[in-house]
Structure 1
Amino acid sequence: MERWRSCPALADKDEAFLAAVADSLVQLEALSPKQRHCLALFKAAELVNALIQIKERREAEDRVGPELAHRSFALVRSVIRNRSLPYAGSESQCLRDPQLTAVIDEGCRLFHLGKTNKELYQQALALSAAQCLALQDQLGPALDQYLQGAGLELPETLIASVRASFIDAYRS
């Protein structure tokens, strides 16, 4: 059995979900170190934004407020549309790589279609889980780089939640 199957984030997932994760991992593990670095930067932005949006919708006690939630959403949306990471410094254009574009586009497609289709939503979650697994060694530093350069003042509790839910939970 693959070691990644023992990570806490996948403990209650069924075999179909785990098979979808395994399929995505094959594609992700073929990425070069530079591609993985750039994808980790994007994934850090995406994870922070996802948690912000979830907390806003649920009106969580530690939410950041509608203005910051909108700024975070707008930043990630801009990155997806422009294929440019404004906070990545010298590699600001790195998301234009065709392999990365394909991974990001597939995640967006599954997420949006998954809003009305439970099966596709599970595929989107499986792809996201595979990204957290494949980028495990780079997500922490990418999150730090994102926080330094994104221009968003985020509470430490939110950052701790991102680390716990999407970095620590995927360690096996």
Structure 2
Amino acid sequence: MTRISLTRLSLAIVLLAGLGLAACSSKRVPLPACPRVGILGDAQKATQYRPGPGRDLTDVTFQTELLDYNGDCRYEEKVTVVVVRFMLQVAAARGPAAAADEAQVPYFVAIVDKERNILSRERFVARVPFREGRRRVVIGEELEQTIPLAGRRTSDIEILVGLELDHDQLEKNRRDRGF
């Protein structure tokens, strides 16, 4: 009977020690929040026209739009680098002047600091294929941005996404938004 009590006592000590270690390991310092991601309102939509001076509805090849995004981040190298992965939804609608079965949607991803200084900027082209009979298509673009923090907090960094626009497209968007 004494032997059984010692075995139970030993088991209880081992279990308590394990719980104590688990409690210690759960006191980790929480990781910072992911950097914010945003779609620039002035660069969210674009209308593409066929070459030439015409700019009415019959001259539209594609209308494109950045719809939404979702994603997450992880930290590397003892929280000195943040890797942000997100899915960007890109929509395109065929216009009456579209001759191609694929819209090419140029867009950019910029990393800015809290003073809006551009830390990096990359250009991408989403290819949106149209099957016969489809007028509007939405695709997902998977993106990954690796950002060295260099002493910055993630709350001081923002990822901005927008369509590559020419001057006329930008002015049209601003007029449409009331600016």
> What's the TM-score once normalised by structure 1's chain length?
0.24
Structure with a larger share of its residues in helix: 1
Q: Which has the higher contact order (CA 8 A, sep 6+)?
A: 1
